Each structure stands twice: as C-alpha cells, then as structure tokens.
Structure 1
Amino acid sequence: MTKKEKVVVLIGPTAVGKTSLSIELAKKFNGEIISGDSMQIYKGMDIATAKITKKEMQGIPHHLIDIIEPDESFSVAQFQELVRAKITEITARGKLPIIVGGTGLYIQSVLYDYQFQETASDTDFRSKLEVLADKEGSNVVHDMLRKVDPEAADSIHHHNVRRVIRALEVHHVTGQKMTELQKQQKRELLYDATIIGLTMDRELLYERINLRVDQMVQQGLLEEVSFFYNKGLRNCQSIQAIGYKELFQYMDRNQSLEESIEELKQNSRRYAKRQLTWFRNKISVKWFDMTDSVKKGDISKKIVEISSFLEGMLQKKQNT
C-alpha cells in the first residue's frame, strides 16, 4: 500500500486570521504554502482578494497566487490538478505542504477522491443561457436553477453566472441535480491530512470584516477596481470577486460609493457565514476559537496551542 502524502490544511472564514497563523506554522514545520483561494489566482487583483504581500510572506514560498490573467477562466478541476502536483513537488523537497484558504469546494476537490462530471456538457445549451443571462440578468438563470436544484441555488450566488449555468447544464445533460451528483462522490481522503479550522465570535468577526473593507478602501481598492473597469473587463469569472461586482455598480452609476461599500461589507459578512456553514457540513475539522486571543491583541498562546496540536498529529501519524 502506497503511503499517503502528508498535508496540513488551514481553513476558516475571511478575516479570521489565517494568513498570520499560516506563516508561523510554515516557519515552525518547514512548510510551503499553497493558496486555497479561488480569487487570489488572478494577477493584479490584490487588494480586493486580501492577497498576501511579499513582506507578509517572510520568505515562505507561496504557490497558486498570481498565476492567470483576470480575463481567463479557471475551473475547480484545474485547481485540483495544479494543487495535487504542488503537494507532490513540495513533499519531494522534504517540505510540508500547507493549504490555506477559504474556498471550500476547491479544497475538498483536492483532498478527496473527487471526480468531475466533465462529460456532462452541451455547448449550445450553455451558450443560450450565457446569452440569456447577458440580456436579462443573472437573476433569470439563477431562478431557473432554483426550480430544478434549490440546494445548488442556495449555495451558488446569483452573480456567479458561470457556476449557475454549469449546474443547469449538468442537470440538462444528466437529468440529475448537481448536488445529488456531488453527494455520490466518494468520501475517501487521498492524503494524510490534518485539517485545522479557525473560528471566532460572529460579532467580532463581522467587526473585523467591516474594518478590513475600510482598510481596503484606504489602500486603494477603488483605484484597483477602476483599472479593470476601464480596461473593459466585464463578463468574466474574476469580476465575481467580492469587491469588484459591488464597486462596478458604483462605476456604472447604479448606486453611490457609500452604498457600494456598505454592500461590499454585507456581502463579505454573508460570505463568511457561508464559509463556516460549508466547512462544518462538508469536512472533518479540528476547530480553534480565535475570539479571546484577538480581543487581547495577542495570538501567541493560540499559535503555541495550534502548533502543539499539529506537532502531536504529525508525530502520531509518523508512528503509525
């Protein structure tokens, strides 16, 4: 029997503190970090996606950041292939792969024997829906999805037109709901994985999200979004990123800047809630509450606690 490769996964909602903790764990356990975020792959989209800076990396190698142009599409299947290759590459160097992020489906696709229904395609059907969404708005196709697969409609935001149409296409071709097909997937872990989750009191988390948005605006979020807006970047996957779609509304003069920023905060809070719900329902996680550490402004004890847990898990697995 082939020995499974070791992988550490650090998950949690946006603004919970994954970035700083991941650096400490990578330093302590000789690790390299793989981004598990579906939007940090895009070049130039830095502020809105809270992309880690070179300074924050502290010399720790990071992978799957800035790998494609904003007008290119990127699938979960592509992510799965790239990350699995990186895990093997990092392991071969004698380092520990640490996946850090908040995009649940992407991370699940890597860790589990997750097959994609790539054969379920009908390009004509897909094109018709794309035209429909373009003419009449994303809500129209999202309402179509709600009629055939309410569970998928609940989990996919109506702005994410590509995924909405994909779910409709799968149902059209196979006659099955995408959620049903996903539930049929095997739940076998392909890796010797330790999954660590960070959580926090909801009120405090929401305060941190609101503060982060204000900081993004101060750092030049409006200028970043304006750059891509002026380039004519429109109906593509990257613009579904929270921060872009809301400010595009302001630039289209559909709402004021204040309204767009408030909507951005609200959508970020809702996304954090969906992230926590997803992780708790789909993946077996060892959770650590960051509330007290953050309130005290000192996460050093939490770093020691999590490091101790991880060290124990890695030693335990070494001996089995």
Structure 2
Amino acid sequence: MRFSMVMCKPTARPLLDAAGTVRRSDMDFLIPWRRKEKVVLILGAAGAGKSRLSIDIASRFPVEIVNSDKIQAHKGLDVVTNKITEVEQCGIPHHLLGTIPPDADFTASDFCDSALLAIESIRARGNTPVIVGGSNSYIEALITDGDYRFQSKYECCFLWVDTAMHVLHSFVSKRVDKMVERGMVEEARNFFDPDAEYSRGIWRAIGVPELDFFFRTEKFLDLQARARLLEEAIEEIKNNTCKLAYRRLEKIHRLRNLKDWNLHGMDARPS
C-alpha cells in the first residue's frame, strides 16, 4: 500500500511526498518545542491503513501512539481484533492497547479518562500524542467533552486515511485472509465459550460471533461440510467488516460536515 495526499483544502500542502513518506518540513508541528499541546488524530475506516501511517509518522518524529479502537483496547484475541503486533510497533510506545480485561465494558467515558491521562504523560515526556483507531465515537467524545478537558489544553491535527469503498472491500478481504493465515480461527476456537454473552467486552469483536455456529457444530460434520461451513463464516466476517468500514466512513463524513472538523484527507491506494 502507498499513500497519496488529497488535502481537504486546495491551498494546503500535502503531508506526504510522491513516494508516500512523510515530509519532515511539513510535519514540524510534531516537534513539541515548536508548537506545544498538539495532538494528532488519525481517522479512517477498517482496513484503510491507519496503523501503518501512525508507525510511519512515529518513526520520524518524537511521538507516542494512543489506541482509540474500543475492541483493541481489550486483552486477548490479538489476531481476531487485528492488533498491531509487537514487531510492527517498531518499539514505538502504544497506550490503551490490550490493557482492558476481556469481559469489562470500556465506555466512551472510560476512554476519555484513560486517553487524557495517556496524553498528559506523553506530553510530560516531551513527545506528541498520535491517537489512532476506528472508534470515531470515542474520538468525538474526547474532543467534544462537555467539561472541555481536552479542548482547553490541546489543539488537533486530523489526518483522514480515505479510500473508495470498492477498493476498501479488497483491502478488507485481503486483511481477513491474512488473519486466517496467522491463526485467527484457532485463536477464536481457544477463546470460544458456548455460554458467552456477545454484547459485552471483547466478545463483540467481529470474528467471534460469526464463528460461533461453526465451533458448535464442527465435531458433527465431515471434512467437506466443515470446510464449507468455515468458508461461509469467514465470508460473513468479511461482509460484517465491510459494513463496519462503511458505518465508520459515514461517521467521518458527518464529523467533517456537521462538526466542521478540518480533516486532512489522504487517499490510500494499493501499491
């Protein structure tokens, strides 16, 4: 994947050069001593490449990353929830990633409290926070908090990793295939609980309820029937991930149009 910049305002300069890397001269706002209390927020649908962009930025500037994905905040199911791996993190500190107990509720209010603490600690170390994740409702809650805890102290720079839906469908399909190769089904099987409540905690993750029927019935099926049922479950995972991506894209458009957020758009295209 490579990134090409399409700015929301024609007069703005792109943040990435033609090769798809961050322009150091145009990202000076990430250097804390030049402009204080800046927070970067990376928005985008599932599969658009938000985590990859955050690491690209973090490898060039003094930043730390704060996860804003409500499911990835929970411990466990690292493959099913597509958490960025330790190798992919490249030694960059990540906050609120895999820290919440699997069965616990992690509300938008909980996220705001935890994210503010993380942001303050990052700033205290002289670094710039980069908030990245798909849960746009959490980001909205943080920024529009009625107590103005965020707005009174921090200034936002929004980066929006955008792509056409038909391209995103391809991204999502390939991502799920890679997750299967990495052991998604085996991980979900080890986590399977026939008495689980799929409305709580990490049990809501796409990939858990879709495999429920397969895990309940696979021992009664022959190899051919089992393979067919698994294929159907994986296809359902892809479809539900695409639906989630579309809902998140609609949310971003609403934040831009109704909340008047100044989003610096980036078109993500396959390399």
Instruction: Determine the structure 2 residue equivalent to 1:207.
Output: 170
2:203 is matched by which residue type in structure 1?
I
Determine the structure 2 residue equivalent to 1:245: 209
Is 1:72 the counterpart of 2:72 in the alignment?
no
Task: List structure 1 runs of 4+ shifted beyond 4 angstroms.
Answer: none
Is structure 2 residue 54 aligned with structure 1 residue 22? yes
Task: Give the 5 Å matches for 1:35-46.
Answer: 35-46=67-78
Q: Secondary structure at the match of 1:256?
A: helix
For 1:216, the aligned partner's letter is: M
RMSD: 2.2
Q: In proportion to residue count, which structure has more strand? A: 2
CA contact (8 A) 1:71 1:233 kept: no
Separation in structure 2 between the aligned mates of residue 78 and residue 19 of structure 1, nearest angstrom: 22
Cα drift, residue 230 of structure 1: 4.2
Residue segments in structure 2 that go unaligned for 5+ positions in a row: 1-34, 219-227
Report the more deviating stretch, 252-261 or 223-232.
Answer: 252-261
List gaps (5 residues or longer) in structure 1: 116-185, 298-320
Distance of 2:86 and 2:139 partners within structure 1: 24
The aligned amino acid for 1:27 is S
Where 1:81 maps in the other structure, the secondary structure is: helix
Question: Counterpart of 1:193?
Answer: 156
Name the SS for the 1:253 alignment partner: helix
- Mapped to 2, the partners of 1:49 and 1:20 lie a distance apart of 16
Q: 1:237 to 1:18 in 2, by over 3 A?
A: same
- After TM superposition, the score normalised by the length of structure 2 is 0.76
Counterpart residue number, 1:223: 186
Question: 1:266 and 2:239 equivalent?
Answer: yes
Identity of aligned residues (%): 35
Do the aligned residues in 2 keep the contact of 1:5 with 1:88 (CA within 8 Å)? no
SS at 1:281 equivalent: helix
TM-score of the pair, normalised by structure 1: 0.65
Q: Which of the two has greater helix per residue?
A: 1
Paired amino acid for 1:206: H
The answer to which structure, 1 or 2, has the higher relative contact order (CA under 8 A, 6+ apart) is 2
The residue number in structure 1 matching 2:222 is none
Question: Deviation at 1:202?
Answer: 1.7
Q: Aligned AA for 2:80?
A: A
Q: CA deviation digits over 1:249-274, x for unaligned, max 9?
A: 32233992122111111000111111
SS of match in other structure, 1:9: strand
Q: How many residues align?
A: 220
